[in-house]
Structure 1
Amino acid sequence: MKKLRLAAAALTAGLAMLVPAVADAAPMPLTFGIYPGGYAGGGSTTGKPDNPAEVRKALAQLQSGHRPFLLRDYLGCGSAFPDDEMQYLAPGRRLDVVLSYSGESMPEWQSCVDKTVHRYGPIADTISVTLEQNVVPQPNGDTALVQGVITGKKAADRDGFARLQIGFDEVAFTQPFTQFWQHLAQLGGAEFSRSVGFVGVDLYPDAGLPGIPPMPDLAGFVHQTLHTVRTQEMPIAGLGRDVPIRVSENGWATHTSQRTPADQARALTTEILAVNQDRVTENVASYEMFALRDDVTGSPSPFDNFGVLTDDYTPKPMYWLYRGLISALS
């Protein structure tokens, strides 16, 4: 444990020497954050419950003071996800709310979005409507995404939440989801373009997920993917460079003997540094890791092993490295 902390401290010192040359050209550094839970869709349904005291301890160490820090909070109109992240708010911490769509009628959905904005607007930086609609499509989900963004923007303006950005997340790859974006543009037109406050990208290169092949050049994947979103997807919907990209999820599973915690540390450090390198050229505003802890350490499912802590809150190497990266880059 002591060796891991010393290694993280050394990394922080080394990065601090490199950061000014990049940061001086940027108006703002990245805002960092994390999903503070363990459960991931597709994994076990009987994982260990969160330990709030351990979560608070881990978040305080990562945040290192009152610097800005995001907590990702997954919600559903029908209470599909437990809303327990508000208990972890503290100075400098704000919510990144994800409101999933699960087949509600449009009037019901719009009412749900409106209420979510009213409730979370004072304590959230962002609200993302639907969830990964481009790769896990829900029936009528594209319409829900467009109407959710438009409704959310109107509600934020009405309630005076000038800081709150309304947007949506996609799983992003190096190739554009052209048809998906064209459909959004056709459904939403100019009103949708005016309402989108950010585009969230979920990055999982070589994460161990089914159907995603190994990608040896992780930094190259990040650079190409962010550039694809910025130059080949967002313009389709009339979104200019003033609309930021947010890396809303990025994780790497340690669920087999060939995917070790040390491998996780190398992969995620490479990806974070690549995101930081692109924050000026692609206007990337934030980075959030998925997830704080494993849901079931040792499970054969990748979805159970995304944490930078084990399910009993023992740190993996990436926990200390992430703390160092946050200190150096934020």
Structure 2
Amino acid sequence: MNAIARRETRTPSAAGTLLVAATLLLATVASLAGAGLAAAAPPPLRFGIAPLAQTGQIGATPAPAVGEDLRATLRWLDRLRPARHRFVLRLNRFFWADGERAFARYLRLARRFGAAGYKIELQVRYRPPVGKAGDIRAWTAHVRAVVRRFGRIRAVEALQIANEVNFDFSPDSSDGWFPGARGALVAGVIAARDEARRLRLRHLRIGFNWAYRRDPAYERTFWRDVGRLGGSRFARSVQWIGLDAYPGTVFPPPSPGLDEGRALVAAARELRKYARLAHLSSRLPLRIEECGWPTFPGRSERYQATALARMVLAAWRARGELRITDFRWFNVRDGDTSSPLPFQHFGLLRSDYTPKPAFATYRRLLRDPLGRGHR
């Protein structure tokens, strides 16, 4: 992966320019609806965000979030989400290695967020307990337990099995580093779908994600391996595929003139291309599971709002062509605004719960026709 680099601060007018463009697009959408022409348009995107402050770091060492206050998080989420429309919270860092402690915490979070009216998507990390790496029988038993216990909560509508298995160098953020990860991805998806069918949990959708990206030769090998290991049973079990992309931060790296929205759509096109190597249907819904733009030192908070608007608008425009159904921003709050670590700065809020400009940008987009997702 390219090293994270700093980006030159853009002019303060950039975010405003994007919001003007957004307003024009929204006016077009509204006029089409008024003319009765919107019936043939693809469905609106379903929007969401990652609500937990702790984020995965590049490498093996975690960086804890400071001063996380769930009540404050809920207050800001309530200000952010559009009224009367579905808004999805993606709970990350649910580790197999953490056993019952993880179940207790995340079941509590799912119930609390669900009671507040949110839909929940759970990231089921492979990260194995000591001595269990590559133990597929134990892993699939764990996955089935996840389906049984979380599937009872009606607000939980999706499980993402494993995380970024194509990234094999960063155990804190991604599962590919752990032995047996590719087999675990395949077996986990099959087990989760089988258990959901057995329990008739029709509301629970099973999928997996891919991080954008390593070099093309590596990615082709990865996807062919997934197809070889999974075969037709895996292909039938997958109900959606997810994209994690950080244009201007991870790949593509920062460069003058980079348009984060165009880069996000390019990533989605690549995912569609690679997924064919695993015999996955082009009709599968594609969810943008993670995208973000961290404001670490040397990077402008105001430009974060520009990058967000570009990515939201680009995903909206490409949703029909690429069957993009969902968009999740990463994430609601910084892990630690005072930290020098780049991945502690993804939030729309600083770690003291004061908003960055991007908070208002996302809020506005969610309240316009872009945010009118499925009820």
What TM-score does the superposition give when structure 1 sets the normalisation length?
A: 0.90
Quick one: distance in 1 between partners of 2:19 and 2:282? 35
Query: Are 1:293 and 1:310, in contact at CA under 8 Å, matched by a contact in 2?
Result: yes
Q: Equivalent of 1:16, from 22, 26, 37?
A: 26
Q: SS of the counterpart of 2:322?
A: coil
Deviation at 1:141, TM superposition (A): 0.3
TM-superposition CA deviations, 1:288-320 (whole Å, max 9, x none) = 111100111131111111100000110111111
Query: Are 1:44 and 1:304, in contact at CA under 8 Å, matched by a contact in 2?
Result: no
Q: SS of the counterpart of 1:53?
A: helix
Quick one: distance in 1 between partners of 2:328 and 2:72? 19
Q: SS of the counterpart of 1:259?
A: coil
Aligned residues: 320
Do the aligned partners of residues 173 and 280 (structure 1) sit closer, same or farther apart at CA in structure 2, a change above 3 Å counting?
farther
TM-superposition CA deviations, 1:63-83 (whole Å, max 9, x none) = 122311111112122327652
Residue 249 of structure 1 corresponds to which residue in structure 2?
290
Deviation at 1:10, TM superposition (A): 7.6
**Uncovered stretches (5+) of structure 2, i.e. residues with no partner:** 1-15, 169-175
Deviation at 1:173, TM superposition (A): 4.1
Q: SS of the counterpart of 1:78?
A: helix
Q: Equivalent of 1:130, from 162, 167, 175?
A: 162
Deviation at 1:174, TM superposition (A): 9.5
Residue 29 of structure 1 corresponds to which residue in structure 2?
44
Deviation at 1:26, TM superposition (A): 3.1
Residue 9 of structure 2 corresponds to which residue in structure 1?
none
Residue 265 of structure 2 corresponds to which residue in structure 1?
223
Residue 316 of structure 2 corresponds to which residue in structure 1?
276
Query: Are 1:175 and 1:228, in contact at CA under 8 Å, matched by a contact in 2?
Result: no
Q: Does 1:101 align with 2:126?
A: yes
Deviation at 1:25, TM superposition (A): 3.8
Q: SS of the counterpart of 2:91?
A: strand
Q: Equivalent of 1:76, from 52, 74, 95?
A: 95
- Structure 1 runs (4+) greater than 6 angstroms displaced: 7-12
Q: SS of the counterpart of 2:43?
A: coil
Residue 141 of structure 1 corresponds to which residue in structure 2?
181
Deviation at 1:14, TM superposition (A): 4.6
Quick one: distance in 1 between partners of 2:73 and 2:22? 23
Residue 235 of structure 2 corresponds to which residue in structure 1?
193
Correspondence list, 1:106-121, <5 A: 106-121=136-151
Correspondence list, 1:300-311, <5 A: 300-311=340-351
Query: Are 2:52 and 2:91, in contact at CA under 8 Å, matched by a contact in 1?
Result: no
Q: SS of the counterpart of 2:288?
A: strand
Q: Equivalent of 2:332, from 280, 284, 292?
A: 292
Task: Select between 150-159 and 163-172 the one with higher mean Cα deviation.
Answer: 163-172
Query: Are 2:223 and 2:277, in contact at CA under 8 Å, matched by a contact in 1?
Result: yes
Do the aligned partners of residues 68 and 279 (structure 1) sit closer, same or farther apart at CA in structure 2, a change above 3 Å counting?
same
Deviation at 1:254, TM superposition (A): 0.6
Residue 3 of structure 1 corresponds to which residue in structure 2?
none
Residue 237 of structure 1 corresponds to which residue in structure 2?
278
Quick one: distance in 1 between partners of 2:97 and 2:304? 35
Q: Does 1:165 align with 2:205?
A: yes
Query: Are 1:165 and 1:198, in contact at CA under 8 Å, matched by a contact in 2?
Result: yes
Q: Which letter does structure 2 place at the counterpart of 1:102?
A: R
Do the aligned partners of residues 174 and 41 (structure 1) sit closer, same or farther apart at CA in structure 2, a change above 3 Å counting?
closer
Residue 57 of structure 1 corresponds to which residue in structure 2?
75
Deviation at 1:119, TM superposition (A): 1.6
